[in-house]
């Protein structure tokens, strides 16, 4: 399901998830705190390299997952770049709208580019963890960190139901298309409404069935799973130190050049 299909094939799959989480978290924090575009791009390349060379993933796989948040990040950055200014402002590009001048100045462009690059670095850091650690191992690590059991169990159930509902929605959509659905704009709106209502009803019923199945198997309010033995995560701590040092080096170099 999702990234799990790739995480189970990773050579790092049996390594301690806390070590891999430390690498991902430290790289993300340093990338955000530095606040530099070069650091964000370097973090993306470095964590992507670790995911491919150390995590055993293909470049195509990593690139495919990196494309998923690009639209969201681009729209978020665009809202920071394009702003309203007084009519006498000096802008790189500006369009008068009413009493204001909408456009882009140098500071806004730099701020938007910096945020976009930092976001890419953080996303790449999170993908290092997601593409090398199955969710079941991640939840075991959260339990070892004494995260509340209710939060961990909700995380497991929500993650599982995402793909269950997606599969159900795909089946309903195929059935609708086979009956000449989505043939026009009005028909598409009606079919989407039926699809949403059916998915909601099926989710409701399946939730009741899952809860009944848990109770019939002795559910007492906690999902108990057996912890497995993991390989030592010491290499991850050395990798985290190297990544952090490289990020700080790029940060110092960019500050010196600017």
State pLDDT tens for residues 90-130. 667 766 776 777 777 777 778 888 888 999 999 999 999 99
Torsion of CA 146, 148, 150, 153, to 10 degrees: -30
Shared domain for 83 and 106, answered yes or no, is: yes
Token readout for 88 is: 């006498």
Torsion of CA 56, 61, 62, 63, to 10 degrees: 150
Task: State the residue for tokens 């530095």.
Answer: 34
Q: For residue 148, what are the contacts with CB-CB under 8 A and spacing of at least 6?
A: none
* Strand stretches in the chain, DSSP E: 83-85, 93-97, 100-104
Length of the chain: 258
Shared domain for 193 and 133, answered yes or no, is: no
Shared domain for 77 and 129, answered yes or no, is: yes
- Cα angle 130, 135, 139 (rounded to 5 degrees) comes to 120
Shared domain for 96 and 36, answered yes or no, is: yes
Q: What is the pLDDT of residue 47?
A: 95
The phi-psi region of residue 181 (left if phi > 0; otherwise alpha if psi is between -120 and 50; otherwise beta) is beta
Shared domain for 219 and 252, answered yes or no, is: no
Torsion of CA 91, 92, 97, 99, to 10 degrees: 10
Shared domain for 90 and 189, answered yes or no, is: no
Query: How far is residue 116's CA from residue 214's CA, in Å, rounded to a whole number?
Result: 44
Asked if residues 33 and 153 have their Cβ atoms less than 8 Å apart, the reply is no
Residues (pLDDT < 70) of the chain are 1, 87-91, 94-95, 98, 221, 258
Shared domain for 29 and 127, answered yes or no, is: yes
Q: What is the pLDDT of residue 177?
A: 86
Shared domain for 61 and 1, answered yes or no, is: yes
Could you tell me the pTM of the whole model? 0.81
For 149, other C-beta atoms within 10 Å of its C-beta total 14
Shared domain for 180 and 251, answered yes or no, is: no
The phi-psi region of residue 218 (left if phi > 0; otherwise alpha if psi is between -120 and 50; otherwise beta) is left
Shared domain for 139 and 235, answered yes or no, is: yes
Domain count, the chain: 2
Token readout for 66 is: 């990196």
Range of the domain at 157: 148-225
Q: For residue 101, what are the contacts with CB-CB under 8 A and spacing of at least 6?
A: 84, 85, 86, 87, 89, 91, 94, 95
Handedness of CA 5, 6, 10, 14 (dihedral sign): negative
Shared domain for 139 and 21, answered yes or no, is: yes
Distances 127 to 62, 78, 96, 155 between C-alpha atoms, Å: 8, 24, 42, 18
Shared domain for 74 and 191, answered yes or no, is: no
């Amino acid at each position: 399901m999702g990234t799990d299909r790739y995480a189970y094939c990773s050579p790092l799959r049996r390594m301690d998830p806390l070590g891999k989480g430390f690498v991902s978290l430290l790289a993300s924090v340093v990338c955000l705190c530095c606040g530099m575009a070069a650091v964000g791009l370097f973090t993306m390349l470095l964590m992507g390299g670790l995911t491919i060379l150390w995590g055993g993933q293909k470049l195509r796989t990593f690139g495919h997952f990196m494309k998923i948040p690009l639209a969201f990040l681009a729209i978020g950055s665009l809202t920071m770049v394009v702003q309203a200014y007084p009519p006498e402002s000096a802008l790189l590009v500006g369009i008068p709208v009413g009493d204001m001048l909408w456009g882009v100045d140098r500071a806004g462009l730099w701020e938007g580019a910096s945020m976009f690059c930092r976001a890419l670095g953080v996303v790449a850091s999170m993908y290092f963890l997601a593409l090398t650690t199955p969710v079941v191992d991640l939840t075991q690590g959260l339990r070892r960190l004494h995260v509340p059991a209710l939060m961990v169990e909700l995380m497991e159930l929500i993650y599982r139901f995402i793909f269950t509902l997606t599969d159900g929605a795909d089946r309903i959509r195929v059935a609708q298309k086979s009956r000449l659905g989505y043939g026009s704009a009005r028909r598409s709106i009606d079919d989407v409404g039926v699809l949403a209502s059916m998915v909601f009803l099926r989710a409701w019923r399946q939730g009741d069935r899952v809860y009944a199945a848990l109770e019939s198997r002795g559910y007492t309010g906690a999902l108990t799973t057996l912890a497995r033995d993991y390989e030592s995560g010491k290499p991850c701590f050395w990798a985290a130190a190297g990544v952090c040092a490289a990020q700080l080096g790029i940060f110092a170099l960019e500050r010196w050049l600017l």
